[in-house]
């Protein structure tokens, strides 16, 4: 295996090369990672160097620019795809108790699940809405910039090895039945009912470079902003604000917050622990 030629004495060179790599990706392919967390990007770049048996970021950049297939592999490295069914069950319990009653007041409503990854949390949301009798009254838009994970999400087929954890999460979230009521098992995989995905539109959308997605009543974007630098976080929160109808609801991850953002005063907290906020009117 090729040795990576970076150590503490030339870390500045590494940072410069990574910056140039992110700029090159933006110019060549239009994907903008320039304001992602530098620590996250550095970890993923070094990981790809090891996997590809490369000794420098300069070599990596050359391959990224000249080989679209290699770039697609690297794009998967940069994507944030940590997810599971009913991840953080207390959040879904709060959603059921604090937000569902508000959604009931609408004859029809729209939800944007931004950064949906491979879709486990989108199906979790659909199950919750079905149990509360609201699935037929809504449209869910699930978006991500990574088309590979979007394809997985559209299929709704997952490996069965995590199902016990998913069932525990579901029960802790206040689930009314059994998670197995919503999928079929086949050849070591689980396949979620089409009734759930029929209300979900999966679409390519990049929070960094794309504009307002739709006028929606509820936005979920959990554990994505933590990978962004502060200025980019502010920009994305502004995007969410513009996308929400008056009194619309924004749900972030437990390690994320609108506090100290430029838009802090445009929201009021519904659940400070679970980072659920309501857009102020006027």
Residue ranges of E strands in 1-137: 109-114
* Mean of per-residue pLDDT scores for the chain: 93
Same domain, 21 and 119: no
Give the pLDDT band (50/70/90) at residue 2.
low
Residue 183 lies in a domain: yes
Domain boundary (78, 99, 125) is at 78
Radius of gyration (C-alpha) of the chain in whole angstroms? 20
Question: How far apart are the C-alpha atoms of 253 and 221, rounded to whole Å?
Answer: 7
Claim to verify: residue 135 and residue 246 sit in the same structural domain: yes
Is 84 a domain residue?
no
Cβ atoms of 137 and 126 within 8 Å: the answer is: no
Whether 125 maps to a domain, the answer reads: yes
C-alpha 59: how far from its chain's center?
30
**Count of residues for the chain?**
282
Strands 183-186 and 189-192: antiparallel
Judge whether residue 213 has pLDDT over 80: no
- Residue 244 sits in a domain whose CATH number is 3.40.50.150
Is 83 within a domain?
A: no
Which residue bears the tokens 């059994």? 178
Same domain, 19 and 99: no
Tell whether 15 and 103 lie within a shared domain. Answer: no
Other CB atoms within 10 Å distance of the CB of residue 52: 14
In a shared domain, residues 52 and 188: no
pLDDT at 9 over 80: no
Residue with tokens 């394809």: 151
Cβ atoms of 125 and 119 within 8 Å: the answer is no
Rounded to 5°, angle at Cα 244 from 108 and 136? 20
Task: State how far the Cα of 89 lies from the Cα of 274, in Å rounded to an integer.
Answer: 10
* In a shared domain, residues 169 and 211: yes
Q: Is residue 244 part of a domain?
A: yes
Establish if 64 belongs to a structural domain. Answer: yes
CA–centroid distance for 146 within its chain: 10
Task: Please give the residue range of the domain that contains residue 256.
Answer: 89-279
* 248 shares a domain with 148: yes
pLDDT, tens digit (0-9, with 9 covering 90-100), for 100-143: 999 999 999 999 999 999 999 999 999 999 999 999 999 999 99
Give 47-93 pLDDT, tens digit per residue: 999 999 998 999 999 999 999 999 999 998 888 777 999 999 999 99
User: Is the same domain home to 27 and 126?
Assistant: no
Residue 1 lies in a domain: no
Q: Is the pLDDT of residue 8 over 80?
A: no
Shared-domain flag, residues 140 and 20: no
Q: In what order do the strands lie in the sheet with 183-186?
A: 157-159, 189-192, 183-186
Question: Of 40, 43, 36, 49, which Cα lies nearest the Cα of 5?
Answer: 49
Q: Distance (Å, rounded) from C-alpha 99 to C-alpha 218?
A: 9
Q: Confirm whether pTM is higher than 0.85.
A: yes
Residue 46 confidence (pLDDT) above 60? yes
**Exposure of 113 in the CB half-sphere (CA atoms within 13 A):** 23
Residue 3 domain flag: no
| 71/103 same-domain check | no
Residue 5 gets which letter from DSSP? -
Last residue of a domain, one of 78, 97, 131: 78
Q: Same structural domain for residues 72 and 126?
A: no
Judge if 131 and 199 occupy the same domain.
yes
Q: Which of 54, 78, 102 is the last residue of a domain?
A: 78
Number of domains in the chain: 2
Amino acid 279: pLDDT: 97
Terminal CA-to-CA distance of the chain, rounded, Å? 60
Measure CA 225 to chain center: 9
Which residues 6+ apart lie within 8 Å of 126 measured at CB? Answer: 135, 140, 196, 197, 199, 200
């Amino acid at each position: 295996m090729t040795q990576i030629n970076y150590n503490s004495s030339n870390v500045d060179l590494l940072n410069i090369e990574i910056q140039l790599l992110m700029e090159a990706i933006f110019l060549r392919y239009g994907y903008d990672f320039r304001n992602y967390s530098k620590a996250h990007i550095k970890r993923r770049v070094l990981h790809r160097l090891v996997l590809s048996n490369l000794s420098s970021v300069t070599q990596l950049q050359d391959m990224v620019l000249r080989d679209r297939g290699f770039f697609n592999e690297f794009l998967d490295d940069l994507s944030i795809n940590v997810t599971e069914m009913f991840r953080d069950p207390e959040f879904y319990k709060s959603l059921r108790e604090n937000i569902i009653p508000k959604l009931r007041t609408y004859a029809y409503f729209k939800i944007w699940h931004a950064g949906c990854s491979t879709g486990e949390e989108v199906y979790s949301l659909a199950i919750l809405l079905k149990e509360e009798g609201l699935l037929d009254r809504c449209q869910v838009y699930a978006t991500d910039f990574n088309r590979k994970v979007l394809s997985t999400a559209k299929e709704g087929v997952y490996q069965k090895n995590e199902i016990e954890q998913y069932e525990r999460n579901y029960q802790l979230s206040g689930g009314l039945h059994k998670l197995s009521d919503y999928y079929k098992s086949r050849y070591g995989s689980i396949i979620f009912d089409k009734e759930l995905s029929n209300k979900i539109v999966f679409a390519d959308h990049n929070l960094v470079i794309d504009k307002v997605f739709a006028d929606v009543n509820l936005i979920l974007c959990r554990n994505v902003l933590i990978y962004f630098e502060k200025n980019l976080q502010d920009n994305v929160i502004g995007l969410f604000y513009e996308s929400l109808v008056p009194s619309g609801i924004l749900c972030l991850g437990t390690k994320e917050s609108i506090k100290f953002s430029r838009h802090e005063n445009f929201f009021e907290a519904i659940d400070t622990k679970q980072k659920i906020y309501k857009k102020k009117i006027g």
